[in-house]
Structure 1
Amino acid sequence: MCGIAGLWSPTRYSAETESQAAKMADTLYHRGPDGRGFHFDPDNGLAMIHTRLSIIGLNAGDQPIYGREEDGTGNLVLTANGEFYDYKRLRGLLRTDGYEFNTKSDSEIALKLYDKHGLDFIDQLRGEFAFTIFDKEKQQLILVRDRFGIRPLFYHLGDNGFFWGSEMKAMLAHPDVSREVCPKAQLHQMMQVMVPGMTLFKDIKALKPGHMLIVTRKGDDFEVEERRYWDAEFPLDGQHDELPDEEHIENVRAALVESITFRLEADVPVACYLSGGIDSCSIIGMAAAIQQSPVKAFTISFDDDRYDEAHIATEMAEKAGADQDILTLKAEDLYGKNFEDAVYYSERTFYNTLGVAKMLMSKHVRNVGYKVVITGEGSDELFGGYAQFKADLFLHDPEYAATPAAEDMRKRNAIFSGSVLAETQISHPAFEEVMGFTPSWIQPWMLTLERIKPLLSDEFKAKLGDYDPIAAIAYSLDKSMLDGRHVLDKVQYSWIKTMLEGQILNWGGDRVDMANSLESRPAFLDHHVAEMAMRIPPHVRVRDGIEKWVVREAMKHVLPEVLYKREKFAFMAPPAHTDKKKAAEIDKLIAKWLSSEKIAKHGIFDEDKLTTSIEEYRKSDDHAANTRKDIILNHAIALHAMEDLLGAA
């Protein structure tokens, strides 16, 4: 795990370039505190930057890594962030083809595979990664991001050259990168859902998951091609793998054993995150069985019993014989500077302080002495785990529509009304066109948008014009991947392409883990597991209203009975309005970042309307309405803080 950045600027390369590259590297120290490396090529106007977190090949994995060496610099140069699994087998195969390896790093296989296969090399890479390869002979720079976007990668193409980085702050450290904020992106962040590829800054883009960017020099200019190499492709309805239940169950079990086995491999100790959900509990159980020794398990506990799952996690830890470490978080922990730090590292807003909690957990894990954790993200996305997914099954699939489970589910999940579940049904014509219905997962954010619009300033609304953010999200989806698919596949696909990368893997994953130099490895998001899961029939993923049925059955032998039978419970931190101490802490952030001066400076909100809304929130006892106001306040505070925190204001 590492940080990468760089610039390719043939017309602007100067004596200052190397010192500017050092400043870019400084911003990524948290991603790679164990060392840094540079490749400077004045003749081509190129600087490549790497900051290292040593996990594999501790004493022989420095980067950049060179290939086809002729003059000491090489015609191929690699900087990589992430892990490539099954690399030992691939190294063996490449050696039989005459390739020699200069390091013990897993990253070097990407360079050799590219040399052998060209751009088709990506099909053989397995893992979570973001990397760049410079091909001097072809005058090409290739940027690649893993299939789900587990690792971040951003880029900027402007008059002064091409820039890239694991985090935007690396690019913003260079004076030639535009800092102009995008009003459309600000609106999207206030309603939680981003358009894939969009960032807060108008001229900085995120490389989309499953894509590569091919940048070719044409004189003093660049030609840029974005190419999709993988997508979450569900089969047409009726063309899933119809197998006996036991075969599906065994396939899931075998795929997860292989994935977890790969992710346990490192030259440093590997721990696991453990919540009260079946995903992390399954990983703990399997990891203990695979390595046949106790697993270190880290659990977050909240000071609100309605949101706390630590007691269930403890039962799992005891069953697996894990060494459990519980971090208890209180109201004051989730706000103040910790809130601001989570914004700084995430580089986006968040609706819930879960991201702050996970950042504090990553700090604790590192303090205890671990650099790597295996996590459970991705199971809900691939096996139909979210309540929103089931809601659409109950609404749009005749097989489920007649069951009483829908109303029962809403009653059991009432605490999440106003956040991940909408209080009322709402639709949008763009989603009706693209998907045939408006998915339940986006409806809460549509309602949030409706509550934000009246608070916006006239100046900000004028910048937006007639822009429709919901339509932009809907039309960003590839309709060919939705047509003819089952309703469950449609909602899973639409979530994977938006919320998984933009939320779960961002402020709920890599960005807050790497804030403290901690590498997280989500075992369910191995693409071999994913491709198998997408072919499992919907009625095997969700059966009789039971989400992730096939995972439960596959993991039945390692799960406590209470967890095996338990319905999915959204993992989130208690909202501010649920506790007087939390309310007091968010009030401090409101005073700091939503002052008259700040509101006037940013021009997003009408001050009088926002102030009135905040006062109504403080007096209200409506849980759903206040939960939505909590969301708006979290976003508003973060938006006003972000530019200052990133040094871009």
Structure 2
Amino acid sequence: MCGIAGVFHRDPQKPIDSQVLVNMAAIQYHRGPDNFGYSNPPGLGVGMSHARLSIIDLNEERGRQPLVSKDQNYYLVHNGEFYDFQKIRSGLVSKGARFATKSDSEIILHLYPRYGLEKTLDYLRGEFAFALYAKNDDHMYLVRDRFGVKPLYWTETEDGIVYGSELKVLFAHPSVKRKLSAAGTYHQLIQVTVPGSTAFDGIHQVLPGHFIKIKRKNGQLTVTNKKYWDIDFPVAGEYVNHKDESHYVEGVREQLLEAVQHRLQADVPVGCYLSGGIDSCSILGLSAAARQDPVKAFTIGFDSEAYDETPIAREMAEMTEADQLVLTLSADDLYKNFSRTIWHTERTIYNTLAVAKLLMSETVQKNNYKVVLTGEGSDELFAGYPAFRKDMFLYGLDSLPASLRNEWQSSLEESNSLFRGAMLPREDFNSVAMSEVVGFTPTCLQNWLHCDSFAMKLLNPQWRDDLKNYDAGAAIAQTFDRDQLDGRHPLDKAQYVWIKTMLEGQILTWGGDRVDMANSMEARPAFLDHHLAKFATTVPPQLRIKGATEKYVLREAMKGLLPETLYKRQKFAFMAPPAHTDTKKWKMLMNLTDEFASKEKVEAAGLLDYDGIRALIDGHEDPSMDRDTKVQLDAVLNHVLGVQLLHHHFVEQDLPKLAQQRADELGWKAAS
């Protein structure tokens, strides 16, 4: 797990500043503190750099990147892990390949010349982002894994393309402009972003399951975007002849165990994140079964009993004889580290769970662990979120008596009352454009699209006028592949939309890679193994949600590993207590708002409307406001603070200068 960076010039003869490449590695030192490397051979117009976190092949020199093929025709920088690479490597050796390192990364340099990129990607299993330059074709490829576990950003400058693992890496390059856009800022305020976009003007993400091909010819660059993988649910009629229930239960158990076993492979110790949910408890149970020694389990606790899952996590740890460490967090911990968290997430956050996750990864690092297995992806594949059950009850159970459907709906609302205004909408909302593409507006997006009435009033007047006809639902929906939606069951559609929006844009960014790698810690989400995902799509909807029970097939597959209380428990959304639930938390949020969103700072940034912010705060402090609205406005206020912090960190600061200072502090210098 590492950080990558690079440039690709239109003019191959234009020199690339070596120290700039080093600085781009230095500003992401947290992603790879073990060593760095760079390459910018003359006459190619290509520069690459790399900050390394050593997990496979710990030899400092042998594993240094960029990697260059023996014939110097291919150049590679890679972030992430390729599982089962030993098997691939053995097959390549039998065909005459000769490897220079023991790194998993090097398989790309041998697969690509033999099979081309798309066939190469079929071989790859894991979480990854990489850049590959092929000198013979004069092409650069930017590639991102299937679900978007690993980030990869790019932009175009006057000289060419600049790319990197984080926004700050691009901003360390002096030619990259740093400016928030109207639509980008608006989407930060409503939580859900347009896939492939960022808050910043002209800065893009490589989409999950896609690669960018950059072709250079006669001083011109042609950029094409191609999908190589997608989550593919069967059309609804194909579920009719499904197999016996035991086939799916046993299949999930087998596939998940294999995914866990692959992710336990490392040349450093591997631990597990453990909450009170089925997902992480399943991962811990399988890890404990696959290992001879006790597993180190890391648990986040909160000082609010209503949101704390520590008791069930302790029960699971005791059951598996895990060595558990519990980090209990308070308002002081969460809001004192809010600004630092935004520096790493590079997008706004609606809940301080992101801060909690950052503090946990820091604890993992202090305990000398670099790798943990996590439960992310389970809810996406097996329909665990309350929003999925609501969509199933509304659209996927036409043959069920209305009375029973209403009973299950009432049970869902009651058990998730804490999360209305966040995980569930406070009231139904329909996006005409979204419904036209999907067939309905998935519940997971309703709350955030409904924030429009708050968010527009918060933008500066000029942007508000510019966006008066803007349709966020339409902008998001037009990025979906209709071929993956047409003819699908409503539950499949809801899961597809979540995977394309909330999973990549939220859970895997501010809830995953960005706050984990902030402390040089690699998280491995076993549920997002694409072999397991392929099998999960074949599980009929009525076995993912059976009656009122979510994740039914997973529960049955893991039944022998789980405490009975957890096996029988409904999904409980994992989030930190909102600010309004605690006087101290609210006061600390207001203190931060006074510091970063004062009238002077808001007007200087020119992004938001200070009067709109004050009206929002005054309304939130109205004692007659209902709890669901307070939950939603808590999220919006966190986004307001986040927008101002994005400007503070990435526009006000001189990022090229900061990157140079970081390189000087580390002693990372280009060769003279």
TM-score by length of 2: 0.94
- What's the CA shift for 1:303? 0.5
Contact kept in structure 2, 1:64 and 1:78, CA below 8 Å: yes
1:524 is matched with which residue? 527
Structure 2 residue 326 is the aligned partner of structure 1 residue 323:
no
**1:368-407 → structure 2 map (5 Å cutoff):** 368-397=367-396, 398-400=398-400, 402=402, 403=404, 404-407=407-410
2:106 is matched with which residue? 108
- Give the alignment partner of residue 646 of structure 1, picking from 640, 646, 650: 650
**How far, CA to CA, are the matches of 1:405 and 1:15 in structure 2?**
65
- What's the CA shift for 1:462? 2.2
1:627 is matched with which residue? 631
Contact kept in structure 2, 1:38 and 1:49, CA below 8 Å: yes
1:446 is matched with which residue? 449
- What's the CA shift for 1:212? 0.8
- Give the alignment partner of residue 76 of structure 2, picking from 68, 75, 78: 78
2:641 is matched with which residue? 637
Structure 2 residue 364 is the aligned partner of structure 1 residue 358:
no
**How far, CA to CA, are the matches of 1:486 and 1:345 in structure 2?**
37
- What's the CA shift for 1:648? 5.6
**How far, CA to CA, are the matches of 1:197 and 1:612 in structure 2?**
32
- What's the CA shift for 1:15? 6.3
- What's the CA shift for 1:341? 1.1
**1:448-597 → structure 2 map (5 Å cutoff):** 448-597=451-600
**How far, CA to CA, are the matches of 1:216 and 1:446 in structure 2?**
38
1:299 is matched with which residue? 299
Secondary structure in 2 aligned to 1:116? helix
Deviation track 1:40-64 (CA, whole Å, cap 9, x = no partner) reads 1221121101110000100132211
Which letter maps to 2:574?
Answer: F
- What's the CA shift for 1:400? 4.9
- What's the CA shift for 1:465? 4.2
Deviation track 1:311-352 (CA, whole Å, cap 9, x = no partner) reads 11000001111110000101011113x111111111100110
Secondary structure in 2 aligned to 1:268? coil
Contact kept in structure 2, 1:393 and 1:401, CA below 8 Å: no
Contact kept in structure 2, 1:110 and 1:125, CA below 8 Å: no
Question: What is the RMSD computed on CA atoms of the aligned residues?
Answer: 1.4
**How far, CA to CA, are the matches of 1:401 and 1:490 in structure 2?**
23
- What's the CA shift for 1:13? 6.9
**How far, CA to CA, are the matches of 2:581 and 2:649 in structure 1?**
28
1:88 is matched with which residue? 86
Contact kept in structure 2, 1:232 and 1:531, CA below 8 Å: yes
Distance change in 2, residues 1:396/1:23 (3 Å): same
Secondary structure in 1 aligned to 2:361? helix
**How far, CA to CA, are the matches of 1:65 and 1:456 in structure 2?**
46
Which letter maps to 1:628?
Answer: Q
Which moves more between the two structures, 219-228 or 304-313? Answer: 219-228
**How far, CA to CA, are the matches of 1:593 and 1:447 in structure 2?**
26
Contact kept in structure 1, 2:22 and 2:37, CA below 8 Å: no
Deviation track 1:259-294 (CA, whole Å, cap 9, x = no partner) reads 000000000000000000000000000000011321
- What's the CA shift for 1:463? 2.9
- What's the CA shift for 1:10? 4.7
Unaligned runs of 5+ in 1: none
**How far, CA to CA, are the matches of 1:430 and 1:127 in structure 2?**
34
Secondary structure in 2 aligned to 1:350? coil
Unaligned runs of 5+ in 2: 654-672
Matched residues, number: 644
1:61 is matched with which residue? 63
2:333 is matched with which residue? 333
Structure 2 residue 617 is the aligned partner of structure 1 residue 614:
yes
**How far, CA to CA, are the matches of 2:21 and 2:547 in structure 1?**
57
Distance change in 2, residues 1:12/1:189 (3 Å): farther
**How far, CA to CA, are the matches of 1:613 and 1:193 in structure 2?**
20
**1:51-200 → structure 2 map (5 Å cutoff):** 51-59=51-59, 60-67=62-69, 69-70=70-71, 74-119=72-117, 120-200=119-199
1:349 is matched with which residue? 348
Which letter maps to 1:383?
Answer: F
Secondary structure in 2 aligned to 1:283? helix
Distance change in 2, residues 1:38/1:605 (3 Å): closer
Secondary structure in 2 aligned to 1:194? coil
1:251 is matched with which residue? 251
Distance change in 2, residues 1:495/1:304 (3 Å): same
2:314 is matched with which residue? 314
Which letter maps to 2:88?
Answer: L
Deviation track 1:94-134 (CA, whole Å, cap 9, x = no partner) reads 01110011000011112211121012211110000000111
Secondary structure in 2 aligned to 1:300? strand
- What's the CA shift for 1:458? 1.9
**How far, CA to CA, are the matches of 2:185 and 2:401 in structure 1?**
38
Which moves more between the two structures, 637-646 or 344-353? Answer: 637-646
Distance change in 2, residues 1:543/1:568 (3 Å): same
Structure 2 residue 36 is the aligned partner of structure 1 residue 36:
yes
- What's the CA shift for 1:238? 2.3
Aligned residues with identical type, % of pairs: 48
**How far, CA to CA, are the matches of 1:181 and 1:463 in structure 2?**
14
- What's the CA shift for 1:178? 2.0
Contact kept in structure 2, 1:457 and 1:603, CA below 8 Å: yes
Contact kept in structure 2, 1:179 and 1:648, CA below 8 Å: no
Contact kept in structure 2, 1:394 and 1:401, CA below 8 Å: no
1:276 is matched with which residue? 276
Secondary structure in 2 aligned to 1:529? helix
- What's the CA shift for 1:19? 1.4
